[in-house]
């Protein structure tokens, strides 16, 4: 074809307003996805590292107040934040039951339920924080190929319209407009594939952290329960 190669920049800029709009949407989605991927990757790595450190500190220490102080140095750990919420509620329950007339078994069990609810609320809040921006990756992974395909179909329709108007359908006239149209599909896949991989990987890590929060809450409640029944005995 006269020894010339395809100029992809020119192909993108001359793809028509619809195809150009599709490409802009896909490029912006890809940039947003990569920004989320890098930020979420650093956040989840730190959350996992701090959670492991907190669990080691928790099982090694014998005083809850010292664990609470240590947890202040682990602000990203979801497990540490769950403990902090439970400890604050436990402190309130302990203070409210300090009077002898308020120390009945019924009141103690009511306080135990308050701590349980505080742990559950904190775990749900931390899970929401961990999942923040993850749905965008899933949406990009699911929608980007179809958006790119729409741009390709629209571009091919325009290419055949132009070929029909010119009355010339040889390979030289068909290759360029078809290539311009197919760029939209390529960009759609480029946006979707990393988003899909990151979406699955992050969900897997979040499930691990969620299980750690639930398991820790159960262990912490068992410790509190044994302490309450011991006092009530």
pLDDT along the chain (233 residues), means of 10: 52 68 92 96 95 94 89 94 92 68 53 86 95 95 94 82 70 70 90 96 96 94 75 51
Inside any domain, residue 3: no
Inside any domain, residue 224: yes
State which H helix or E strand residue 192 sits in.
Answer: helix 171-232
Inside any domain, residue 2: no
**Residues near 148 by beta carbon (within 8 Å), at least 6 away in sequence:** 22, 26, 184, 185, 186, 187, 188, 189, 191, 192
Instruction: Evaluate if pTM is beyond 0.85.
Output: no
Inside any domain, residue 91: yes
Inside any domain, residue 97: yes
Which residues constitute the domain of residue 168?
Answer: 17-232
- The region, left, alpha or beta by phi > 0 then psi within -120 to 50, assigned to residue 16 is left
CA distance 46 to 71: 14
**Residues near 115 by beta carbon (within 8 Å), at least 6 away in sequence:** 86, 89, 90, 93, 221, 224
Residue 226: the pLDDT is 79
Reference 33, options 185, 126, 144, 169; nearest CA is: 144
Inside any domain, residue 7: no
Residue 100: the pLDDT is 46
Inside any domain, residue 172: yes
Inside any domain, residue 30: yes
Number of domains in the chain: 1
196 near 145, Cβ under 8 Å? Answer: no
130 near 78, Cβ under 8 Å? Answer: yes
Residue 229 token pair: 């029944």
What's the Cα-to-Cα distance from 9 to each of 14, 96, 148, 195, rounded to whole Å?
Answer: 9, 71, 17, 25
């Amino acid at each position: 074809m006269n020894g010339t190669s395809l100029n992809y920049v020119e192909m993108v800029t001359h793809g028509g307003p619809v195809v150009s709009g599709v490409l802009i949407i896909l490029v912006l989605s890809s940039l947003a996805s990569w920004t989320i991927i890098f930020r979420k990757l650093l956040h989840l790595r730190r959350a996992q590292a701090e959670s492991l450190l907190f669990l080691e500190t928790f099982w090694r220490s014998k005083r809850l107040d010292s664990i609470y102080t240590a947890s202040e140095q682990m602000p990203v750990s979801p497990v540490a934040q769950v403990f902090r919420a439970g400890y604050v509620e436990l402190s309130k329950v302990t203070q409210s039951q300090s009077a002898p007339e308020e120390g009945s078994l019924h009141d103690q069990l009511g306080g135990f339920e308050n701590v349980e609810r505080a742990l559950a609320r904190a775990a749900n809040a931390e899970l929401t924080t961990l999942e923040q921006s993850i749905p965008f990756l899933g949406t990009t992974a699911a929608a980007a190929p179809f958006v790119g395909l729409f741009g390709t179909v629209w571009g091919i329709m325009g290419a055949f319209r132009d070929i029909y108007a010119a009355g010339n359908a040889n390979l030289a006239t068909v290759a360029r407009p078809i290539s311009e149209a197919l760029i939209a599909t390529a960009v759609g896949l480029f946006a979707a594939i990393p988003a899909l991989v990151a979406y699955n990987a992050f969900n897997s890590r979040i499930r691990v952290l969620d299980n750690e929060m639930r398991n820790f809450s159960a262990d912490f409640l068992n410790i509190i329960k044994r302490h309450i029944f011991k006092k009530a005995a």
